[in-house]
């Protein structure tokens, strides 16, 4: 064979090896990138869910200390409604805790004024707002387990 033909074959073989090697190194890159993006979005939704719980807990705790424009029971009803709606959207992001959070929300939604009054009489909580906030704390703790 001629030296120019050998150089050409070596160049072609080197190019094919380079292309194959490049393909081998990057073949899973798109999948890994997509998974990383989805994981990050799920983390953001989980943080937003916890932020909503914290917002309503603070509003309930300070409802007794306000000028009377915020009352604990209607505020708690709004909180539970918003938390249930948000959990319907992001519940799948809580893979391990999904059942725990769902149960905590169900228990909180079913609480009655008599239950709250009983907690205040037994000195577990000082006020209605704090008692309702304690129910939301149970949901927050379920997200962390």
What are 113-144's pLDDT values in tens digits? Answer: 888 888 888 877 788 888 899 899 999 999 98
Give the integer Cα–Cα distance in Å for 45 and 31: 21
Q: How many beta carbons lie within 10 A of that of residue 3, not counting itself?
A: 7
pTM (2 d.p.): 0.75
Q: What percent of the chain has pLDDT over 90?
A: 40
What is the C-alpha radius of gyration for the chain, rounded to an integer number of angstroms?
28
């Amino acid at each position: 064979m001629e030296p120019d033909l050998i150089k050409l074959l070596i160049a072609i073989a080197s190019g094919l090896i380079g292309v194959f090697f490049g393909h081998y190194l990057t073949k899973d890159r798109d999948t890994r990138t997509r998974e990383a993006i989805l994981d990050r979005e799920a983390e953001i939704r989980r943080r937003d869910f916890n932020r909503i719980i914290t917002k309503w807990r603070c509003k309930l705790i300070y409802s007794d200390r306000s000028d009377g424009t915020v009352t604990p029971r209607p505020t708690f009803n709004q909180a539970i409604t918003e938390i249930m709606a948000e959990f319907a959207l992001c519940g799948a992001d809580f893979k391990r805790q999904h059942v725990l959070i769902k149960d905590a929300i169900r228990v909180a939604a079913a609480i009655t004024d008599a239950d709250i009054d009983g907690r205040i009489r037994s000195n577990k909580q000082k006020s209605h707002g704090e008692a309702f906030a304690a129910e939301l704390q149970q949901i927050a703790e379920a997200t962390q387990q």
